[in-house]
Chain A
């Protein structure tokens, strides 16, 4: 089963390599990992997708907790949550196909972000399934380039996986 972990970490150099290194040396597979800062400037949030049974996820979580820079971990896939992935893709177009592609993009509520003589660049956000479907729909036209952000996720309603009252760490490296 796929699990989505929201991992709050100190926003400082080297944290990503600590987390990624832990996954590789303990033999855990990362399906996707995104990282960015949060509402709190000295905290970053990683959204990590891991495939595995409950026992593996328990080990992943416990080992992550042992990293001093990891502040909080929530397995948000245990609860109701919303998730988004963003894709930018560049497809080949000849003038005859352009309308067709734009119509298709409309179905997925993708937006045109750039238009060239032979290519069109689209962006689309949505959950993973939608993005996968969008990618498949564009494939017949010839995808020249594709980039995805990976999944970010948040609990629904007033539940949250953020830092609250955790205070600030003193006297650490920048």
Chain B
């Protein structure tokens, strides 16, 4: 049966069980939107800016584990996706982005709203396609979903010229994918797994350093089993947070630049470092030569290119971390390490996370209260900056995939649209966005999307009336010369809440938080909670540039 390629695209999305797409229409993607009229299975979420669409698809993917889909038109529509695609690429989030393109006859002529989006996104996609032959579209969509969701996940872009979208084709969706240049390794090498299983008991001070790969491969249960079986404390990278229970005695919290002092010292003292789905990022290792200096390193990752990229690994193992941990756990005996765990307890007692509760409402207090109130049963989305680090430090995550945050790229403005995607991906689940007055203003237009979709999102602004993280950097690296960090105009967030028909709360004291936060979070609909916090609060501990993680500062 003949249908247009645009109709075929929608059929393909239905075959891939896509339930929702986030997008913005335009001229070049008219055929795609026209075809969408006839789909009863796919819900379309109209955003207010294409960046909102890609971040929402990203947030949706993070909480569901499914592929997020976003759609934009050619030219500016496509370039507005770029930040979000780069964000998904850095955090290994499975996305399919579909852009309209000018007709093939006009490609290369600087036509209206023409941009070479496959060229632009080459370094920030796992793969991308410019569709020239309409008959190949179904196969391309099949490949795109396969590539995005398998191996190390990532974004794939499909650029669809308008005339190709309008061409009629015989629709046939391929049953399988054959890509001879793409065969991710899932099963770890059995001999190496046995070797590692035999090795672990010979070390006295192991630390598990678990990253975003645990979340990607749904390996939180296996991580917990491994840690308990070999009595190894667990530290998470930022991307790994929520993959290990925050209230577990073996949990060390986050490591690295703003990590807990006890996590960083445990890594420094360990004789065996098990890196699981982590990539030795510079924010984790800091001065790389002083990172885990005494450790034998076991590195398990699905991406062979991560092995040996930043540090030399003694025992590399490529494959899916869940499958490998399953196999590994079977071969391990229970190991007790009372003296090492006593040392860990000692480090935690010596160097707890702390802040001065003196004057005003401290942001750390707000996050701590939020954590106590939700008991870890909410999905927490964040933006980027100080508030994000306070969430990482003071919120105790207890369920996998409950943190939605931009790790690798550090994209301010990610929070609100990503939280919208999270709400849509997990209806009925409490979703709370923790943001700053800087970040929220980058994508604040998506409040309209939130209202239109009737999402009960709770937005908690830690409002220090400035760009706190940059102010902190200027304090330490620019001898306190502050420039371009203090907003001289502040929107009235309560009026803003009213403008969008959202309940507004202003919290200025600890009593306000105790009295009003539970009420605000229990609202049936959305709420905007503006917490007025001091301008000069710093995220501590902090490892200064060039220093090892064993020598952080506290003020």
A contacts, CB < 8 Å to B: 9-10, 14, 17-18, 21, 25, 55, 58-59, 62-63, 65-71, 163, 166-174
The total of Cβ contacts below 8 Å across the A-B interface reads: 74
Decide: B123 and A65 in contact? CB cutoff 8 A.
no
Q: Is B347 positioned at the interface, with any CB of A under 8 Å from its CB?
A: no
**For residue B133, which residue of chain A has the nearest CB?**
A174
Decide: B136 and A173 in contact? CB cutoff 8 A.
yes
Decide: A59 and B143 in contact? CB cutoff 8 A.
no
Report the Cα distance A167→B176, complex, angstroms: 14
**Chain B's nearest CB lies how many Å from the CB of A40?**
11
- List 24 A-B residue pairs with CB atoms under 8 Å apart, sorted by A's residue number: A21-B123, A55-B308, A59-B309, A62-B305, A62-B307, A67-B181, A68-B127, A68-B147, A68-B181, A163-B180, A167-B178, A169-B181, A170-B143, A170-B174, A170-B178, A171-B136, A171-B138, A171-B142, A171-B143, A172-B140, A172-B179, A173-B132, A173-B133, A173-B140
With A10-B181, A68-B147 known as contacts, the answer to whether A172 contacts B122 (CB < 8 A) is no
With A170-B174, A171-B139, A173-B129 known as contacts, the answer to whether A68 contacts B182 (CB < 8 A) is yes
Report the Cα distance A174→B126, complex, angstroms: 19
Decide: A66 and B305 in contact? CB cutoff 8 A.
yes
For B101-143 the 0/1 string (1 means CB < 8 A from A) is: 0000000000000000011001100110111110010111011
Q: Is B177 positioned at the interface, with any CB of A under 8 Å from its CB?
A: yes
Report the Cα distance A17→B120, complex, angstroms: 12
> What residues of B have a CB within 8 angstroms of the CB of A58 in the complex?
308
Decide: B178 and A65 in contact? CB cutoff 8 A.
no
For B484-511 the 0/1 string (1 means CB < 8 A from A) is: 0000000000000000000000000000
Decide: A71 and B180 in contact? CB cutoff 8 A.
yes
Decide: A14 and B143 in contact? CB cutoff 8 A.
no
**Chain B's nearest CB lies how many Å from the CB of A59?**
6
Report the Cα distance A88→B460, complex, angstroms: 70
Decide: A71 and B181 in contact? CB cutoff 8 A.
yes
Most chain B CB inside 10 Å of its own CB: which residue of A69, A166, A171: A171
Report the Cα distance A36→B474, complex, angstroms: 53
> What residues of A have a CB within 8 angstroms of the CB of B182 in the complex?
68
- CB contact between A172 and one of B143, B303, B304 (< 8 Å): that residue: B143
- CB contact between B126 and one of A55, A63, A68, A171 (< 8 Å): that residue: A68
> What residues of B have a CB within 8 angstroms of the CB of A172 in the complex?
136, 139-140, 143, 179
With A65-B304, A168-B180 known as contacts, the answer to whether A174 contacts B309 (CB < 8 A) is no
> What residues of B have a CB within 8 angstroms of the CB of A171 in the complex?
136, 138-140, 142-143, 174
- CB contact between A168 and one of B119, B143, B178 (< 8 Å): that residue: B178
Report the Cα distance A166→B131, complex, angstroms: 24
**For residue A21, which residue of chain B has the nearest CB?**
B122
Decide: B180 and A65 in contact? CB cutoff 8 A.
no
Decide: A63 and B136 in contact? CB cutoff 8 A.
no
Most chain B CB inside 10 Å of its own CB: which residue of A58, A62, A70, A173: A173
Report the Cα distance A58→B300, complex, angstroms: 17
Q: Can you add 9 more A-B contacts, CB < 8 Å, to A168-B180, A169-B178?
A: A10-B181, A17-B119, A58-B308, A66-B303, A71-B180, A163-B180, A169-B179, A173-B133, A174-B133
Decide: A170 and B129 in contact? CB cutoff 8 A.
no
With A171-B138, A173-B133 known as contacts, the answer to whether A63 contacts B181 (CB < 8 A) is no
Decide: B305 and A70 in contact? CB cutoff 8 A.
no
**For residue B312, which residue of chain A has the nearest CB?**
A55
With A65-B305, A68-B147 known as contacts, the answer to whether A170 contacts B123 (CB < 8 A) is no
**For residue B181, which residue of chain A has the nearest CB?**
A71
> What residues of A have a CB within 8 angstroms of the CB of B142 in the complex?
171
> What residues of A have a CB within 8 angstroms of the CB of B119 in the complex?
17
Report the Cα distance A5→B251, complex, angstroms: 45
| Those 8 A-B pairs whose CB atoms lie nearest each other, nearest first | A171-B139, A62-B305, A68-B127, A166-B180, A71-B181, A170-B178, A68-B182, A62-B304
Report the Cα distance A135→B157, complex, angstroms: 47
Most chain B CB inside 10 Å of its own CB: which residue of A18, A68, A168: A68
Report the Cα distance A34→B174, complex, angstroms: 35
